[in-house]
Amino acid sequence: FEPWNDPDAKPLIQFRNVSKRFGEFTAIDNQSFDIYEREFFALLGPSGCGKTTMMRMLAGFETPTEGTILLGGQDIAPIPPNKRAVNMMFQSYALFPHLSVWENIAFGLKRDRRPKDEIDIRVAEMLKLTRLEQFARRKPHQISGGQRQRVALARSLAKAPKLLLLDEPLGALDAKLRQDTQFELMDIQEKTGTTFVIVTHDQEEAMTVASRVAVMDHGRIVQADIPAKIYEQPNSVYVADFIGEVTIIDGTATKADEGYEIDFAEGQPKLYCKTDKQLANGQSAHIAIRPEKVSISAEKPTDRRNILHGKIDDIAYLGNISTYHVKLPNGKIVKAQTANTRRLAHRPFTWEDEVYLSWSDTAGVLLER
Ligand code: ATP
């Protein structure tokens, strides 16, 4: 499922040079991108980067200052929010407290004066989809937080929108329930075939649920790709740093073999990255290296080109894995991760141990900015 790579696939949503300004302030900066039918698209970025503004423009609560947003090829600007095939589910859920679960789900259909039979059938479908059949008669205060979340979802899907916008949909749930609910959300999205756009602060959540993740910075999408590519092939230090754990090593690049050598500190060996990228000799560059790609050993490896020597400064034991912070002689910290498959008694390294760090020629990602 990669419609963005299919030249015949028709986008559901098209942003064309869209900017949004509030007075002097540019919240969205000249953005053009597409979202496809059946996609689960995540907008991810730090507070204030413009995620909510993107959603509000899609919902019709804000209008772009410049540019056009198309839905199914049609400019949505003249269409009022309640006439768009778009629905938004808010973090607060905004359920009606005096109405039952059934009535909450039926609300939009009733307002549209749909025939009674149709409403009955549709609400029953939604109750089944969200596993709420047995709670139909209860009021929102008589069900759990997770169930309320599902009512809100059922209600926003009842009118079968083409696009559902989810603003921090799991923000009110605790960590464990949140994880289970992520899988449920993916399941419901797949079953209905509705395009979902989710806004979240939580990068793990975005990576879990989304078919594509768009990482935003100051009103721009800086990279939009499948989660594995965002993680394995970030296009900038910003993206590498925002997603997951990483060590960024800054230096200067010199052409070497099938890639570049990076000189990052006096007295330290040069690091090698095999890459197709083309950089200028002497250009400043960065290596982004994920901790799980860095091996840690007491003996100096003989089969690798990237080898650093340092001292263990910190250890985080996380059950299945341990993360080591290793301090190089110049003070730089490099993170290495090991899988804890052996028993505790065999835990190999401790604080102040002198160790070697090493990684393969292709493990580090060479970045220009
Ligand atoms: P958060 O994760 O904190 O919700 P966000 O990425 O969703 O942040 P937005 O709510 O889209 O960010 O806001 C983007 C920027 O636009 C912020 O700097 C915000 O202060 C500004 N902004 C949003 N709405 C308005 C408004 N109505 N008037 C003025 N500035 C606004």
Identify whether residues 280 and 233 lie together within a single domain: no
Based on the fold, state whether residues 188 and 335 are members of the same structural domain: no
**CA–centroid distance, residue 229 to ligand 1 (Å):** 28
2 exposure class (CB count in 10 Å sphere: 0-12, 13-18, 19+): exposed
What number of other Cβ atoms are within 10 A of residue 220's Cβ?
16
Q: How far apart are CA 218 and CA 227, in angstroms?
A: 21
Please name which of 184, 229, 234, 239 lies closest in space to residue 209, comparing C-alpha atoms. Answer: 184
Q: Is the pLDDT of residue 200 over 80?
A: yes
Tens digits of residue pLDDT in 128-168: 999 999 999 999 999 998 999 999 999 999 999 999 999 98
Instruction: Count the neighbouring beta carbons within 10 Å of the beta carbon of residue 158.
Output: 24
Look up the CATH number of the domain holding residue 89: 3.40.50.300
- 188: number of Cβ within 10 Å: 20
Query: How confident is the model over 258-285, as a mean pLDDT?
Result: 94
Close Cβ partners of 116 (under 8 Å, ≥ 6 residues apart): none
For residue 37, give the 3-state DSSP assignment: coil
Same domain, residue pair 234 and 305 = no
Q: Give the model confidence (pLDDT) of 70-122 as tens digits.
A: 999 999 999 988 888 999 998 777 899 999 999 999 999 999 999 999 999 99
What is the 263 CA–ligand 1 centroid distance (Å)?
Answer: 40
Mean pLDDT score, 271-286? 95
Residues 170 and 142 in one domain: yes
Inter-CA distances, 91 with 122, 143, 153, 202, 262, Å: 24, 17, 11, 14, 46
Cα 214 to ligand 1 centre (Å): 17
Ligand 1 atom having least distance to the Cα of 43? 6
Query: Ligand 1 center to residue 52 CA distance, Å?
Result: 7
Q: Is the pLDDT of residue 205 over 70?
A: yes
Nearest CA to ligand 1 atom 17: 48
Q: What is the pLDDT of residue 221?
A: 98
Do 56 and 123 lie in one domain? The reply is: yes
Q: Do 199 and 337 fall into the same domain?
A: no
CATH of the domain at 305: 2.40.50.140
* Residue 36, H or E segment: strand 25-36
CA of 195 to the centre of ligand 1 (A): 24
Please tell me whether residues 92 and 220 are part of one structural domain.
Answer: yes
Ligand 1 binding pocket includes 47 (Cβ within 6 Å): yes
Residue-range definition of the domain harbouring residue 284:
245-367
- pLDDT digits 0-9 by tens, 34-47: 999 999 999 999 99
Q: What is the mean pLDDT of residues 249-271?
A: 94
* Amino acid identity, position 144: S
- CA geometry: angle 160, 155, 83, nearest 5 deg: 50
61 lines ligand 1 (CB under 6 A): no
- Which atom of ligand 1 lies closest to the CA of 216? 6
Of 22, 28, 77, 80, nearest to 49 by C-alpha is 28
Among 189, 217, 240, which residue terminates a domain?
Answer: 240
Same domain, yes or no, for 197 and 307?
A: no
The reply to whether 147 and 199 lie within a common domain is yes
Which burial class, exposed, middle or buried, applies to 243 when counting CB atoms under 10 A from its CB (0-12, 13-18, 19+)?
A: buried
Are residues 163 and 266 located together in one domain of the fold?
no
Domain-ending residue, one of 192, 212, 240? 240
Domain's final residue, options 240, 266, 282: 240
Q: Considering its fold, how many domains does the chain have in total?
A: 2
Same domain membership, residue 186 and residue 103 = yes
The mean of the pLDDT values for the chain is 93
Indicate whether 337 and 270 sit together in one domain.
yes
The C-alpha atoms of residue 64 and residue 53 are separated, in whole angstroms, by 9
Q: Is 104 helix (H, G, I), strand (E, B) or coil?
A: helix
β pairing state of 365-367 and 271-274: unpaired
Model ipTM value: 0.94
